[in-house]
Chain A
Amino acid sequence: MKVTRRDLLMMGAAGTAGLLVTPVPWKLLDDVSIWSQNWPWIPQPTHGPVEVKQSFCTLCPNGCGMRVRMAAGWPVGVAGMGSHPISRGALCPLGYGAHQLNWHPQRLRTVRHRSNSASWEEARAAFAKACREGPIAIVDGYPGRAASSVFETFAQKRNGSYRAVLGPETRALVPYESWSGVPAAGLGYDLENAQTIVSFGAPLLDGWGAPGRFTRLWAERAAGLTEPQLRLIQVEALLPGTTPSRTATRAWQWVPVYAGAEAALAGGLARVLLDEHLVRARGPMPPMTIAEAADQTGLSTGALIELARTMVARHPVVVIANDGDPAIAALNVVLGAAGARGGIVRRTKLAEPHASAAADIDSARAVLIDSTVPWDFTPPTNVEVFRFAAWDGGSCTADWLLPAPGFLEEMTDVPSAPASAIETYAVAPSLLKAPPEVRSAAQFLGGIDSALMPTEKIIHARCADLFRGRAGTLQGTEATPVKKFASVQKLEEQLWKGAIWIDEPPRFAAFRCELKEWPASVRPAHRVGSSSVNWSRTWCAPVLPPLASKLYQESSLREAPEGRNV
């Protein structure tokens, strides 16, 4: 039988069809996809012993506890530390992917002077010259650390100034600083003992404070309960074309008001509380009437009165603002929440007051910005700027861009989280060796002034203070009272292994606010359609690790800030 061309074509067609009912195409597809993961140019962690080390996230001042999985000495995974008293095992999406950040393409590895390559010696000479020529300002995004102490000392010695960029949680506590004399950094919210929380736009379920703090509380005492043990009343404007926030939609009660009318609502509520004697306080009396407040907020008079009664129906009640508006803060004073259990409390250890970075620094000859300061912070001045950063977020206006240590590359201490009710202290050890071309701002200043105390010595001195204080507990794999430690070395050793010192619970009596008159709002009221403070626009990370991008994009954990490509 002669085999024709037609036979071959038919046989080929039958063979192709037959292959589809064999494992060949499907198995090849699977194998090729796995093969493509192992191309030699794709970085792979080294095979080696796997161990888990405890540390703390230093990407923001919340200092969440982390369990870092290390393979052959390199971090390959991050998980939350369940024993951390504030974060309680939770991390934000950025924290979960933070171990990928050091390999980000935008990692800074060279000194740049106005977009040109420069050396550390040139940068040091330029900053030393600026120090000689006039006062300098140092801006810190994570006050209270040992490095912050180095900054303050350096600035003081040169007649310069030390400024802190405060997060929204701490900014909301600033009004109490002027009324009580207690620094805002030493105040916190006792959310754990509150029964009613009235949030004026604070994104409590969308990324407020330490990620696990309120969300865990919410899960335990409110989520899914018809009559929750914790009532959350969310005051939040709904702008045209937007959807309500996760916090608003899940709150026990959502109060939509006109955008920017939060201060007017606070005044109206205070008026009702005082007029109807729903609180012990007798003042200060807001200048507006209930009807005026209702008109400005878009609520009816009856709804405003009902809201005030609901607020005080279950005590303790605390009001949380999204910014430092004194009118909203004053509502806490009227409610008696300032210095009370379940309200705003002073931590046992007094923090130092720090001038805000928004304060005038125009007279400075140069400004040094630490790598902890959010990338989009621009000093309100045209002087020479020395900007430390581990990652280049783009559009940098600083004269000098100085590469700083990346994630887990620098040993640093971790003071109490902003707005926390309890004092904590921890040390985040350096789990990775920093590349030789990076320097921290404290190291940079130490190179100019060799008399400055290194951060390691300051941390040691702080550990010695904790040991001498004999108060609190060290929470590591198990809780050990500080008084049981035989030496400061033992205590320090535990801290360096990832334990966290937790102070005694706060005492609520030693904090009193003196407020004679109702304060004016710092923001004028706007009607619908005008711009309002949107917390997501204030959020800024210079770069995102791939894992965080995936979490942000695919899980709608948090809406991406406008104009930012994640």
Chain B
Amino acid sequence: MNTKRTVVVLGLGLAVALLAGWVAFPRALYSRRHQPLEFRHKTHAEKSGVAECSQCHALRDDGTFAGIPATETCAGCHSERMGTSQAEALLVDTYIKPGQEIPWLVYARQPVNVWFSHAIHVKRAALACAECHSTYGESDEVRIYEVNRISGYSRDIWGHSISRLRRAPHEGMKMSDCEDCHRRHHLEVACLGCHE
């Protein structure tokens, strides 16, 4: 066997592996799901006068984070249809009138052994929402929810970049991301801080 043939064969094997690893694997790893309902942050901010994230995503008196508002909050304006769109009909007829909660697919959902306090990060550390959530609060659509077929968690946890290189500051919610941020701010990183 000559050297040229060896190089070609090895190169071919390498190329196939690299293509499979960097291109095919990320596509195969995540499945794409649509949110149950269309929602526009931008429209709500402009038309409803909602100026602060905390007006809907509030902290309770005891410091816990209320998360995504319940349909009871939506019913404040949408008790009856406010337009003719299909999403409006779905919201009112399927969720608000029967009193059903919307099964949102949560991009930031973490394992149950993880405890994250929005109150500490927002109030004590004075972090702006955009530092972690980017400009999502100004978006005009809900993103596709990409779920990891193996772990069952959102792609947002790992970050969009499969190599985790050149990530934007708000990308990624792995434990190492929490640790890196805490170290950058010279804060204590202890197990019990997040895992109870």
Residues of A within 8 A of B (CB): 1, 6-7, 10-19, 21-24, 27-28, 30-32, 34-35, 37-38, 44-45, 47, 50-52, 69, 71, 76-79, 96, 547
Contact = CB atoms under 8 A, between A and B. Distances in A.
Contacts of B6: 10
A10 B13 contact: yes
A69 B115 contact: yes
25 contacts: A6-B1, A10-B6, A10-B13, A12-B13, A13-B10, A14-B14, A17-B14, A18-B18, A19-B17, A23-B21, A23-B26, A23-B163, A24-B25, A30-B151, A31-B150, A32-B150, A34-B150, A34-B151, A37-B111, A38-B111, A38-B152, A44-B112, A51-B60, A52-B62, A69-B196
Contacts of B60: 51
Contacts of A69: 115, 196
A357 B53 CA distance: 61
Contacts of B151: 30-31, 34-35, 38
A27 B5 CA distance: 33
B148 interface: yes
A96 B192 CA distance: 9
Given A35-B152, A38-B152, A14 B17 contact: yes
Contact of B22 (A1, A17, A23, A76): A23
A17 B1 CA distance: 21
Nearest to B192: A96
A15 B65 CA distance: 48
B150 A35 contact: yes
Nearest to B150: A31
Contacts of B162: 23, 27
Contacts of B11: 14
Contacts of B1: 6
Contacts, number: 106
A15 B112 contact: no
B196 A19 contact: no
- Ranked 7 nearest A-B pairs via Cβ: A22-B21, A18-B17, A14-B13, A77-B196, A11-B13, A34-B151, A31-B150
Given A22-B17, A51-B64, A34 B111 contact: yes
A64 to B, nearest CB: 16
Contacts of B115: 69, 77
Given A32-B150, A50-B64, A78-B196, A14 B112 contact: no
Contacts of B150: 28, 31-32, 34-35
B135 to A, nearest CB: 27
Interface string B141-185: 000000010111100001000110000000000000000000000
Nearest to A45: B112
B111 to A, nearest CB: 6
A31 B12 contact: no
A24 B15 CA distance: 14
A24 B26 CA distance: 9
Given A13-B13, A23-B162, A78-B196, A34 B18 contact: no
A37 B151 CA distance: 9
A374 to B, nearest CB: 26
Contacts of A21: 18, 21
B62 to A, nearest CB: 5
Contacts of B153: 34
Given A23-B163, A32-B150, A77-B115, A15 B13 contact: yes
B90 interface: no
Contacts of A22: 17-18, 20-22, 25
B21 A19 contact: yes
A21 B18 CA distance: 8
Contacts of B64: 50-52
B111 A15 contact: no
B16 interface: yes
B63 A52 contact: yes
B196 A18 contact: no
Contacts of A78: 196
B9 interface: yes
B29 interface: yes
A107 B5 CA distance: 68
Nearest to A1: B5
A15 B25 CA distance: 14
Given A35-B150, A76-B196, A18 B25 contact: no
Contacts of B22: 22-23
Nearest to B6: A10
A69 B17 CA distance: 47
A28 B29 CA distance: 9
Nearest to B15: A18
Contacts of A30: 151, 158
Contact of A15 (B14, B152, B196): B14
A305 B158 CA distance: 67
Contacts of A10: 6, 9-10, 13
Contacts of A6: 1
A19 B17 CA distance: 5
A11 B75 CA distance: 61
Nearest to A13: B13
Contacts of B15: 18
Nearest to B26: A23
A18 B16 contact: yes
Interface in B88-137: 111-113, 115
Nearest to A11: B13
Given A21-B18, A22-B17, A37-B111, 17 more contacts: A7-B5, A11-B12, A16-B17, A17-B17, A18-B13, A19-B17, A19-B20, A22-B20, A23-B26, A23-B162, A24-B20, A34-B150, A47-B112, A51-B60, A52-B62, A52-B63, A76-B112
Contacts of A37: 111, 113
Contacts of B17: 14-19, 22
A51 B13 contact: no
A316 to B, nearest CB: 35
A32 B21 CA distance: 17
Nearest to A551: B192
Contacts of A15: 13-14, 16-17, 20
A405 to B, nearest CB: 22
A14 B16 CA distance: 9
A233 B157 CA distance: 52
A45 to B, nearest CB: 5
A51 to B, nearest CB: 6
Interface centre among A11, A28, A50, A78 (most CB of B within 10 A): A11
A348 to B, nearest CB: 33
A179 to B, nearest CB: 44
Contacts of A28: 150
Given A32-B150, A34-B151, A51-B62, A14 B20 contact: no
A211 B6 CA distance: 70
